[in-house]
Amino acid sequence: MPHASTSAFSDFSFFEIDLQIEVVSMSKPTILVVTAYAPSIINFRLGLLKQLIKEGYEIHVLAGDEHLTENILKQMGEQCFHYHRWSIGRATFNPFGDIKAYLELRALMRRLQARKVLAYTLKALLLSALLAKRGTFYALVSGRGRLKSENGLRSKLTHLFLRSALNKAQVSFFQNKEDLDYFKDISSKAVLLPGSGVNLVDFKFQSYPSTIEGFRVLMVSRLIDEKGIHVFRDAAKILLQTQKTPIQFELIGAPEGRYAKMTAELLSQELFPLKYLGHTIGDAKAVIPYYKRSHAVVLPTNYGEGVPRSLIEAMAIGRPIICSKQAGTVGLLDGNGFYLDSVSPSSLAKSIKKLMSLDSASILQMAELSRKRAESHFDEQKVVELMLPHFLFSSHTKNDSEAPH
């Protein structure tokens, strides 16, 4: 079951974790991964980091503790990742907190003397660029998030800082062509990735479920308005009023922002008639049974996506997808779903109704095409193969880094 609770985790000592890594091994070259969001290490970067360990590198992770669970820490320990807690807010602006995060990052960089620093999520990327030596810093732009749609002074300044950070990077990795083109004038080498990819072994093809008892539509997303939560909710209302076929609408994801402040009862009322199933943070594979029983997976997003992970997971399982057409979703569809005419409840309802009207053979063909496209375009191993060469060294004895000033 997805976790209904959105609280962080039970009390346990980070002192014990930090104690284990107080003495840094000097026998292996070190790579430091910096992110504001710890669960993404297991959910999105595991394949790359496991391969780097096989190549002889020691992996240190500096990450914020939002949604950090004991299970995530356990998995990082099992993979021999050294975790360092970071006092950073992923989606909040707090000058004092950000200064503290800067100082923590500087202290860790000085202590580790990491040969390479890979940073992603906006704050992690900007702070790492300030501190890392040129030639050691690698940036991963996993979408521009709210920056893509905001036009205020703060957004413009952030874009300016981000461009400066990417200019300092040895390599900048992008997850869609629009973001790559937007930063085409940066001086660092740019590499286009097919998103974060999906593990095709864990997310294997699943037979399409029967529709005799009705139709089930699933959305897997962080609970923020820009992802289209209300679009999905209002489309559900339209279809429940107009369709005779029984339909269930399910939502999985961690509440953030104003949603995180709601009680369970208030959240249920806000999302009705969607059935909120909680979140699966800490166990990326826990969502598989819900993809398996679904008939379609949707994402009516207006967010600045890299490539939405939930959609490529659904494709790997073999489910038709319905989504908005934007930078991060271009290239997902080739006969395996529908793009929305507009990001609106009526357009989403129309597309779901269109899918439901198809005969069984047509829907099964879409399911098979989803899997084939996941295999041909979004295999996690292809992402690893594109990124890995940029982190390998001709010699493990050469030290090409220095402590930040």
Beta strands in 69-144 (DSSP E): 82-86, 116-120, 137-141
Averaged pLDDT, 339-354: 98
Q: Is 301 left (phi over 0), alpha (psi -120 to 50) or beta?
A: beta
Return the pLDDT at 153: 80
The predicted pLDDT at position 309 comes to 96
Q: Work out whether the CA dihedral 71, 259, 224, 349 comes out positive or negative.
A: positive
Average pLDDT over residues 351-366: 97
Percent of the chain with pLDDT over 70: 89
pLDDT of amino acid 261: 93
What is the mean predicted confidence (pLDDT) over 222-241?
A: 97
- The predicted structure's pLDDT at residue 144: 87
Q: Is 70 exceeded by the pLDDT of residue 25?
A: no
What are the pLDDT digits (tens) for 101-126?
A: 999 999 999 999 999 999 999 999 99
Residue that the structure tokens 């290239």 belong to: 331
- Give the best-scoring range by mean pLDDT among 21-35, 157-171, 204-218: 204-218
pLDDT tens track for 275-300? 999 998 878 899 999 999 999 999 99
Q: Output 14 or 26, whichever has higher pLDDT.
A: 26
**What pLDDT sits at residue 9?**
32
pLDDT digits (tens, 9 = 90+) for 40-53: 999 999 999 999 99
The pLDDT-based confidence of 257 (bands split at 50, 70, 90) is confident
Phi-psi sector, 195: left (phi>0), alpha (psi -120 to 50), beta: left
Can you identify the CATH homologous superfamily of domain 16-197+381-391?
Glycogen Phosphorylase B; (3.40.50.2000)
pLDDT at 87 over 50: yes
258-267 tens-digit pLDDT: 999 999 999 9
Predicted confidence at residue 402, as pLDDT, reads: 36
User: What is the average per-residue pLDDT within 304-312?
Assistant: 95
The C-alpha atoms of residue 137 and residue 33 are separated, in whole angstroms, by 10
Residue ranges covered by each domain of the chain:
16-197+381-391, 215-378
User: What is the side-by-side order of every strand in the sheet holding 189-192?
Assistant: 82-86, 58-64, 30-35, 116-120, 137-141, 171-174, 189-192
pLDDT above 90 as % of the chain: 74
The mean of the pLDDT values for the chain is 88
The reported pLDDT for the residue numbered 393 is: 61
Options 3.40.50.720, 3.40.50.2000, 3.50.50.60, 3.90.950.20; CATH of 215-378: 3.40.50.2000
* Global model pTM greater than 0.75: yes
Nearest to 306 by CA among 379, 197, 381, 382: 197
Residue 398, pLDDT > 50, answer no
Beta bridge partners of 117: 32, 137
